[in-house]
């Protein structure tokens, strides 16, 4: 499991987003808007929208907010016109970083990102500078207490999964993007609870960080994730588990 994936799991477990619920609802709403805009307002036929709605419900986003976000995406309600933009950059120690944004003002977004990167030992890169160091995957995370490993492995592979990994707490099922919906549905049909299920970017190589560079990287990641325009951040760092745990108090 990459350092960023471990970082994400720690933040979920400790509820780091709860203190920023307004910020979180903004990000969830924008994902729903863009999903509805690109694939239509029916979650039965729009997998991305269905996942966005499920994530919003998991975080107790009001149903009315969800409904209005869908209608804004389909054009039934007026609102800001968001577009998806991905920025690439470097963190401390040469870590590769992808930042996926949903914005209604590119100039504001890139100015904010440049400031965040520069204040925390990083810099914005050119388009294509680091994207080749990641690959798109489907990722499903399941607690180890929820199911026996052999049963889950057989179910996932039969449904089309590429691989299954384990750590002390969770199983991680990896799929090709086109197989994700089918594998997720098979796990759901089997009644196995999932901590998260999402399309994501997996690093193809890792950069080990420690000491000052590790702390700088974690602060940079936090600041990027706090920006309203930022939807997802992917980075190929590898930082010791005890450092990740300590960073969240």
Please give the average pLDDT of every successive group of 10 residues along the chain, which has 249 residues.
61 53 85 94 92 90 95 91 94 96 96 97 95 96 94 96 91 95 94 91 93 93 92 92 72
Residue 172 main-chain phi, psi, to 5 deg: -120, 120
pLDDT of residue 200: 92
CB 128 within 8 A of CB 98: no
CATH 3.30.70.980 maps onto the chain at 83-132+205-239, 134-203
pLDDT of residue 243: 81
Torsion from C-alpha of 230, 232, 235, 239, nearest 10 degrees: 100
pLDDT of residue 4: 61
How is domain 3-74 classified at the CATH fold level? Arc Repressor Mutant, subunit A (1.10.10)
Specify the CATH number of the domain 134-203.
Answer: 3.30.70.980
pLDDT of residue 246: 75
Reported as type and span, the H/E element at residue 202 is strand 196-203
* CATH class of the domain whose range is 83-132+205-239: alpha beta
Q: How far apart are CA 1 and CA 143, in angstroms?
A: 14
pLDDT of residue 244: 79
pTM, 2 dp: 0.88
CATH 1.10.10.200 maps onto the chain at 3-74
Residue 129 main-chain phi, psi, to 5 deg: -70, -30
Cite the beta strand spans of 121-246 per DSSP E.
123-124, 134-143, 163-166, 170-175, 196-203, 207-208, 230-235, 237-238
pLDDT of residue 196: 87
pLDDT of residue 96: 96
């Amino acid at each position: 499991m990459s350092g960023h994936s471990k970082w994400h799991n720690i933040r979920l477990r400790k509820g780091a987003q709860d203190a920023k619920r307004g910020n979180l609802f903004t990000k969830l709403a924008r994902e729903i808007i863009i999903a509805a805009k690109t694939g239509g307002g029916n979650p039965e036929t729009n997998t991305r929208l269905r996942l966005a709605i499920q994530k919003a419900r998991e975080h107790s986003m009001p149903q009315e907010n969800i409904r209005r976000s869908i209608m804004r995406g389909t054009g039934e309600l007026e609102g800001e016109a968001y577009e998806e933009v991905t920025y690439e950059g470097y963190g401390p120690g040469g870590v590769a970083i992808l930042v996926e944004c949903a914005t209604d003002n590119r100039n504001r977004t890139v100015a904010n990102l440049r400031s965040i990167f520069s204040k925390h030992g990083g810099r914005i890169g050119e388009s294509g500078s680091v994207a080749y160091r990641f690959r798109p995957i489907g990722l499903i995370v399941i607690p180890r207490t929820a199911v026996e490993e052999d049963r889950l492995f057989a179910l996932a592979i039969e449904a089309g999964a590429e691989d299954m990994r384990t750590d002390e707490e969770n199983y991680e099922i990896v799929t090709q993007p086109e197989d994700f919906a089918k594998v997720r549905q098979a796990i759901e049909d089997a009644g196995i609870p999932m901590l998260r299920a999402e399309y994501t970017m997996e690093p193809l190589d890792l950069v080990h960080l420690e000491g000052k560079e590790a702390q700088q990287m974690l602060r940079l990641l936090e600041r990027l994730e706090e920006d309203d325009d930022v939807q997802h951040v992917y980075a190929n760092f590898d930082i010791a588990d005890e450092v990740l745990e300590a960073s969240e108090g």
